[in-house]
Amino acid sequence: MRTESDFVKDPIVIVNFKTYAEVEGEKCLALARICDKVASENGVSIGIAPPLIELSKIASEVEIPVFSQHIDIRKSDPRTGHVTLRSIKAAGCAGTLLNHSERRLILADLEDLISGAKENRLITIVCTNNTGTSRAVAPLEPDYIAMEPPELIGGDISVTTANPGIVRDAVKAVKDISKDVKVLTGAGVKTSADLKKALELGCAGVLLASGVVKAKDPKAALISLCSGITTL
């Protein structure tokens, strides 16, 4: 059985597939395989978060860690149209994003889901929007906090260039509360310079989406992004 420490190494690059047209139907598995290949051929740690409806399929087809984009509840109650923590574990996922800016959670659920993920050995990547919310999530001790200023998401300029101070502040705020919680950053991240800058600022990696998914050549974009780092 795969466990956290088996395949999640830092620095890590998490590719969020979102629900872009570029990952509909067969194209989703194709992109997942590209990420898988780049990871093994280039010795970098890459995780992916495919659309919800592709999750079980992708988790059974690739070697790299697969994350759910969201979960709703911990238990296996009758909850038509929702995603349970237990079901993503059973599908072979490594973990889950939580509280993405496009899918926020109320605090009580966030706390419960992080706690449930720990019990089930699922990795949690909790998205936050600024230093304040990063500081609030830190005591819950997820594996990662991914700080993404919403105004920069999907844009052309990386958060590490537009506002390195906010990244540095978030890293410091989180580490002051818990040394064990690692910080990722995202929003506008596209190049290897963005990634290196994120690492310099104290991050354990990056969370990105359009920079790879909507690239003309996603494989080239991912290889370029990861050039210069080696993690595996």
Interior angle at CA 191, CA 206 and CA 54, nearest 5 = 55
Q: Counting contacts by CB under 8 A, is residue 192 touching its own copies?
A: no
Closest contact distance (angstroms) between CB of 69 and its own copies is 4
Among 68, 124, 158, 160, binds its own copies (CB under 8 A): 68
Burial of 81 (0-12, 13-18, 19+ CB in 10 A): exposed
Q: Counting contacts by CB under 8 A, is residue 14 touching its own copies?
A: no
Measured from the CB atom, is 92 or 202 closer to its own copies?
92
Q: Counting contacts by CB under 8 A, is residue 193 touching its own copies?
A: no
Closest contact distance (angstroms) between CB of 7 and its own copies is 19
- Judged by CB under 8 A, the stretch of 7-15, 66-74, 162-170, 195-203 that binds its own copies is 66-74
Distance CA 101, CA 136 (A): 16
Among 13, 14, 15, 49, binds its own copies (CB under 8 A): 49
Burial of 56 (0-12, 13-18, 19+ CB in 10 A): middle
Nearest Cα neighbor of 58 from 88, 23, 28 is 28
The two tokens of residue 38 are 């780049």
Q: Counting contacts by CB under 8 A, is residue 55 touching its own copies?
A: yes
Distance CA 203, CA 146 (A): 9
| Active-site residue flag, 102 | no
Q: Counting contacts by CB under 8 A, is residue 170 touching its own copies?
A: no
Among 102, 119, 200, 217, binds its own copies (CB under 8 A): 102
Total residues at interface with its own copies (CB under 8 A):
67
- Token pair 């709703």 is found at 72
Closest contact distance (angstroms) between CB of 176 and its own copies is 9
Nearest Cα neighbor of 230 from 56, 5, 9 is 9
The two tokens of residue 170 are 């978030």
Among 2, 74, 104, 219, binds its own copies (CB under 8 A): 104
| Active-site residue flag, 24 | no
Which CA distances in Å does 60 have to 15, 85, 143, 174?
A: 17, 17, 23, 34
* Interacting residue ranges for its own copies, rule: CB under 8 A: 16, 18-21, 24-26, 28, 49, 51-57, 60, 68-70, 76-84, 86-88, 90-92, 97, 99-111, 115, 128-130, 132-133, 135-140, 154, 173, 177, 209-210
Residue numbers annotated as active site: 100, 148
